[in-house]
Amino acid sequence: MTPIPPLHRSHALASLLALGLLTPLMGCGGPRALPINDLNAVLRQTADARREPAMGVRWLASLNRRQGRERVDLIDLNSRRPVPVPGLNRGDALPISVSVSADGRRLAVVRQRANRTELVLYRRNSETVQTLPIDPPGVPRAVSLDAQGRQLAVQISRNGRWDVDLIRLP
């Protein structure tokens, strides 16, 4: 076997590296992510704008802007229809962040109301809103509810610093 001259050896190494790096990319031709166009069309038709999506197993919670007003919206992905959340959306409140449990029974919301920001828990089965205390005090910004709806993580500003608090729910 003839040895490869030094100059050609570096080219051979570069070629092998290139092949080694390109092979995994060429193997990525498997299943690809596909938009759910019929559902996306429904979402676009039912709001002027949407943000802050959160998904449960068959639920999509988001902040919905319609006719200039922000509100929390819950969509049943199976029926592709909005689900009423009576008592949650107040005319004097601006929602900032939302999260939904896997079964869609609980929603956690950060909202601004009367010059203060509050964290609330909404229970769909009883249509009740409970304000959750933040201790030590701080200003909530974002919320994430666990799948069972029993714990939540909330991003809080305290004294110029961002913290994340975990809260166990009743």
User: For 118-129, what is the mean pLDDT?
Assistant: 97
HSE, side-chain direction, 13 A CA sphere, residue 69: 9
All domains in the chain, ordered by first residue: 37-168 (2.120.10.30)
Residue 153 has pLDDT above 80, yes or no: yes
Cα dihedral 41, 46, 48, 54, rounded to 10, equals: -80
Tens of pLDDT, residues 91-106: 999 999 999 999 999 9
User: What distances in angstroms separate CA 146 from CA 52, 101, 152, 154, 166, one per listed residue?
Assistant: 16, 6, 6, 11, 10
Is the pTM above the cut of 0.85? no
